[in-house]
Amino acid sequence: MYKSIILILTFISINFFAQQKNNVSFLLENESKLSFTQTIDSLKNCGNRNGWKVLTIHDLQQSLKKNGKEVLPANVFELCNPKYS
């Protein structure tokens, strides 16, 4: 019984540290020198120039405001490129 617990804890620890080592972040964050609106327009234009179609832009600030939560401006882009579909 004691050996089983040690083996399980060892396995969990190894698995945890292996996942941390290979942790890839899907969030890319850069501060824009442009205003919020100019940044949105710039991102749309950049996407279009590079073959990406902007399907929709979700206004998170407005969505959360409807539910009583105040947040800073935030938009989420839905992009599509047939090459990667």
24-35: pLDDT as tens digits: 556 667 888 999
Q: What pLDDT, on a 0 to 100 scale, did the predictor assign at position 18?
A: 58
Residue 8 forms part of a structural domain? no
If one counts the domains in the chain, the total is 1
Residue 80 forms part of a structural domain? yes
Residue-wise pLDDT tens digits, 3-29: 545 556 665 666 555 555 555 556 667
Mean pLDDT for the stretch of residues 61-80: 92
Q: Domain span at residue 62? A: 34-85
What b-and-e string marks burial along 29-54, b requiring 16 or more CB atoms within 10 Å of the CB? eeeeeeeeeebbeebeeebeeeebee
Cα–Cα distance, 28 to 26 (Å, whole number): 6
Who wins on pLDDT, 28 or 70?
70
